Structure 1
Amino acid sequence: MERTSVSKERAVQWERHSGGGDSKEKGPEARLYELRLTTDGPATTGAEVTISASFVARANGSLALPADAHLYRFHWIHTPLVLTSKTEKALSSTIRVVGNVPGDMPVSVWVTAANCWMCQPVARGFTVLPITEFLVGDLVITQNSSLPWPSSYLTKTTLQVSFLLHDPSNFFKSASFLYSWDFGDGTQMVTENPVVHYNYSIIGTFTVKLKAVAEWEQVKPDAGKGTVQKTGDFSASLQLQETLRGIQVWGPTLIQTFQKMTVTLNFLGSPPLTTCWRLKPECLPLEEGECHPVPVAGTTYNLTHTFRDPGDYCFSIRAENVISKTHQYHRIQVWPSSIQPAVFAFPCATLITVMLAFIMYVTLRNATRQKDMVENPEPPSGVRCCCQVCCGPFLLETPAEYLEIVRENHGLLPPLYKSIKTYTV
C-alpha cells in the first residue's frame, strides 16, 4: 500500500509539470511533454493498420522522461475500426486495427496516471486514418539521366515506370495482379509485371495512367470459397525534354541606323527556360551575368533592336534549358540612314552615264558640224544666209569687219576682182 501511494504521488507531480490536472502551477513550464502518433496508413478495407503513440519532450522541455513506464496508462478510441491487438512498451503504446468500411477514421489517445483515475490526462494525441476500398500505391518514374528540374526527363532515353503497392500488413500476399498502362502518347500495354520500361521519342508533357487489378480467393463464412477483386487507378505527369542542339537565326545582315530590326531565333530542341543576348563588336561567348535573361515558353523567339550608330556589330545569343545550354552569333552591318549602299551607288552610276552620254553627244555633234562646213560651204538655208551674210553689213560697223567674216566663213570663194589681160597686135 505504501508503494502505491508513492507511485500515485509521482504521477500527480509529473502530471502537473506536463499540464494535466487542475493544478494552479500551470504556466510557461506547463505541458513540457506530448504524444507523437505514427501510422502506416492509408489502407484498403480489410487490411490491418498499425498506430503507435509515444511520449516525446517538447522543444523547450527541461525534464527527463520518467524511467518507470508502469506509472501511466494509454487509453485509445478507434471506433468504428476493429481492434486486433494492443502492445505497450516503455512510455509507448501500439494498436493494430482493421477498417471494414471506407472513410476517414478518427483515432485518439490520452495518457493518465495508472492509479489516478480522477486526474486529468497527462498528454493527448489525435490522428485521422484514411481507409479506402481501392488499392493503395504510387507510381514511381526513374531514369538514368538525372535532371535538376522536377518531373523532367530526357527524350530518346529509357524510362522505368514502377507501381509500388502500399501493403505493410502483407494483405495481398496471395493476390495476382494485372496492370493496364497508358503512356499518354497513344501507346497502351497490359502486363503482369508492376515495372515497365518505355522510351518517349518526342518532347512535351505527358500523363502516365495505370489501372491495377488485384484478385484472390477468400474463404466465405459458409465455408465456401469466393473470388475477391480490388482495383486502383493511378497517374503521374512527366515532362519530356530534349537537349538544345543549336539556334537558327533569321534576320538581315545589313541595315541602316534608326531602322527597327527584328531577328527571329529558332531553337533546335526543347523550349529553353531562358535566353539572353547582347551586342558586341566581336562574336564572343556571353559570360554569366553579362546579359539579362528572358523566359521563353516556345521554340521561337523574336528580338528587336534599333541601331543609332553605324558600324559592324555581332549579336551574341545564349539559350539554356534544364538539360543544356548553347550559343549562337549573328553579324550585322549598320549604315548611316542617309547613305544606303544601293541608293548611293545608283545615283553615281546614273550621273556617270549621263556625263559620258553628254560628252559623246557633244563630240559627235562637233564632228558632224565640221564635216558639213567642209562639204557644204554655202549656208543650208536662205534664212541662215540672210542672217549671217546678207544682214551682216548692216550689223557691223565697217566693211572691213564684214570682209574678214566672209573670209573666215568662205575661204574658198574667188576674189572680188579679176586681173585684166592685155594683148598687143
Structure 2
Amino acid sequence: MAPAAWSRFGRVLWLACLLPLATARVAAGMYELNLTTDGPGTTGAEVTISASLLAKDNSSLALPADAHLYRFHWIHTPLMLTGKTEKDLSSTIRMVSSAPGDFPVSVWVTAANCWMCQPVAKGFLVLPITEFLVGNLVVTQNTSLPWPSSYLTKTILKVSFLLHDPSNFFKTASFLYSWDFGDGTQMVTEDSVVYYNYSIIGTFTVKLKVVAEWEQAEPDTAKGVMQKTGDFSASLKLQESLRGIQVLGPTLIQTFQKLTVTLNFLGSPPLTVCWRLKPECLPLEEGECHPVSVASMTYNLTHTFRDPGDYCFSIRAENIISKTHQYHRVQVWPSSIQPAVFAFPCATLITVMLACIMYLTLRNATQQKDMVENPEPPSGVRCCCQMCCGPFLLETPSEYLEIVRENHGLLPPLYKSVKTYTV
C-alpha cells in the first residue's frame, strides 16, 4: 500500500512541476526580443543594452499577464557588468569595457523555473567600443536645400560637435576644439559650436580634432590626468544660388536682321538654360523648350525675325540649388528695303547680260562666216544690233547717236529754203 501511495504522490508532484511550463511551451516561437543600445561607447564609459519581449505580429497575440513567469539570460563576456534592471517583460544591463573592440552580446528568455526548457525568444547584437571620443559633426544653415550636404555661399553656416556620452562619463572633462574648414582657415576654440561663412563655391571638408582632459583618482589615492581625443570630418558642397539673369541686347530691330542677346548669369555653374519666343512674357512650363547645358557664366542667343510684331524672350535658368526666370521684349519693324525689291532688278540684269553674251557669241560666228562669203554684213543684222544692244555695248552716248544718224539719215529740215531772184 505504501509503495502505491508514493507512486501516486510522485506523479502528482511531476505534474505540478510541469504545469508552470505549459504556458512557456505554448509561447515558444510566438514572441521575439527587441534589443536597443546607447552604443557605440568609449573605453571606461558605461554602455546600456535593453531587451523587451514582444509578440511577433504585435497585435493578435497578447503578452503574458504575469511577468514573473519568464527570466532573461545574458551573455556579455568579456564586458564587465555594472548593473542590471528587470521591469515587466524587459531587462536592461549596463556594462563597461577597458579595451576597444566589437563585442557580441546575446540574450534569451525562458520560463522562470525551467532554465533547460526551449527559449521563448532570442536576441543578439554586436556592441562597438572605441578608445576615442564618440560624437558627430553637424552642419546646419538657415536655408533648406533639397540636396544633401549642399549649402549656400555667403550665408552663415553653423558647425556643431555633439558628444555622445549617455552615461555622463565626461561630465568633469574640459574640451579643446581645433577646426580646419578646408579653405585655408583654421581656428582653436573651447566651444563646441562655431559659425563660418564660405565666400567661394566648391567642395570642402571640415575637419575637427577634439581633446578631452579630466582628473581621475588612482588606486593609491593620487590623482592623474586622463585624456581622450577624437577626429571628425564632414564634407560640404558650397553652391551659389541664381540671383537673376542679366540680359544684354537690342529691344528694337528690323525684319531679316540677325539679333544677338547675351545672358549673364548671376550664380554658379553648371547651369541648364531654356528659352522660347512668346507673344507675351509668361513663365516657361516644364517641357515647353529644349534645355541646354551651360558651363560658363555667359551665353549668347541668336535669332532672325522674319515677321514684324512684338515678341518676348522667355528665359529660364537653373543650377543644382535654385532656378530663376527672366524676360526680354523685342519690337520688330518691317525692313525699309525688302529682299523682293532686289530680286526683280537682279533677275532682269542677269537676263539682259545673258542675252548680250549669246548675241555676241552668235555675232562673232556670223562675222567669221561673212568674211569669207560677203565682206559686208547684212544691214538688217547691223541695225538690230545697234538698236537693241547699242546702249549696253557702246562706251559713250556720242557713238550711239552716230549709229542712229547712219541708220536713219538726216532729219528733214523744219523749214523750206526760199529762192530769191534778182531782177
TM-score, normalisation: structure 2:
0.69
| Contact 2:28-2:118 within 8 A present in 1 as well | no
Deviations 1:369-393 (A, max 9, x none): 99xxxxxxxxxxxxx9xxx9xxx9x
Distance 2:124 2:68 in 1: 22
Match of 1:11 in 2: 21
AA matched with 1:49: V
Q: Does 1:285 align with 2:283?
A: yes
AA matched with 1:11: L
What is the correspondence of 1:139-178 to structure 2 with a 5 Å cutoff?
A: 139-178=137-176
Task: Tell me how large the CA RMSD over aligned residues is.
Answer: 4.7
AA matched with 1:121: P
Deviations 1:20-64 (A, max 9, x none): xxxxxxxxxxxx210111100011111110111110112265231
> After alignment, is 54-63 or 190-199 more displaced?
54-63
Instruction: Give the match's secondary structure for 1:232.
Output: strand
**Offset of 1:317 from its aligned partner?**
1.2
Which blocks of at least 5 consecutive residues in structure 1 are unaligned? 20-31, 352-358, 371-383, 397-401
Distance 2:166 2:235 in 1: 26
Alpha-carbon distance change, 163 to 93 in structure 1, aligned in 2, over 3 angstroms: same
Distance 1:15 1:3 in 2: 19
Match of 1:82 in 2: 80
Match of 1:22 in 2: none
Alpha-carbon distance change, 167 to 330 in structure 1, aligned in 2, over 3 angstroms: same
| Contact 2:24-2:111 within 8 A present in 1 as well | no
| Contact 2:273-2:294 within 8 A present in 1 as well | no
**Offset of 1:238 from its aligned partner?**
2.6
Distance 2:205 2:19 in 1: 62
AA matched with 1:16: V
Distance 1:191 1:294 in 2: 48
Match of 1:376 in 2: none
Distance 1:297 1:107 in 2: 56
| Contact 2:24-2:110 within 8 A present in 1 as well | no
Match of 1:58 in 2: 56
Distance 1:151 1:291 in 2: 31
AA matched with 2:38: D
Alpha-carbon distance change, 156 to 115 in structure 1, aligned in 2, over 3 angstroms: same
Match of 1:26 in 2: none
Distance 1:231 1:104 in 2: 19
TM-score, normalisation: structure 1:
0.69
Alpha-carbon distance change, 260 to 419 in structure 1, aligned in 2, over 3 angstroms: closer
Alpha-carbon distance change, 172 to 284 in structure 1, aligned in 2, over 3 angstroms: same
Instruction: Give the match's secondary structure for 2:280.
Output: coil
2:124 to 106, 123, 126: 126
Alpha-carbon distance change, 293 to 161 in structure 1, aligned in 2, over 3 angstroms: farther
Instruction: Give the match's secondary structure for 1:168.
Output: coil
Distance 2:254 2:57 in 1: 70
Match of 1:103 in 2: 101
**Offset of 1:179 from its aligned partner?**
0.4
Deviations 1:348-397 (A, max 9, x none): 9999xxxxxxx9xx9x968xx99xxxxxxxxxxxxx9xxx9xxx9xx99x
| Contact 1:35-1:56 within 8 A present in 2 as well | yes
Instruction: Give the match's secondary structure for 1:11.
Output: helix
**Offset of 1:183 from its aligned partner?**
1.5
Which blocks of at least 5 consecutive residues in structure 2 are unaligned? 1-9, 348-390
AA matched with 2:22: V
| Contact 1:8-1:113 within 8 A present in 2 as well | no
| Contact 1:269-1:299 within 8 A present in 2 as well | no
Instruction: Give the match's secondary structure for 2:232.
Output: strand
**Offset of 1:236 from its aligned partner?**
1.6
**Offset of 1:323 from its aligned partner?**
6.1
Distance 2:247 2:411 in 1: 81
Match of 2:92 in 1: 94
Match of 2:382 in 1: none
| Contact 2:73-2:108 within 8 A present in 1 as well | yes
**Offset of 1:201 from its aligned partner?**
2.4
Deviations 1:105-160 (A, max 9, x none): 11110111121122111100011111111110011222333344433333333222
| Contact 1:33-1:61 within 8 A present in 2 as well | no
Instruction: Give the match's secondary structure for 2:19.
Output: helix
**Offset of 1:192 from its aligned partner?**
0.6
Instruction: Give the match's secondary structure for 1:201.
Output: coil
**Offset of 1:342 from its aligned partner?**
9.2
What is the correspondence of 1:385-424 to structure 2 with a 5 Å cutoff?
A: 408=413
| Contact 1:260-1:304 within 8 A present in 2 as well | no
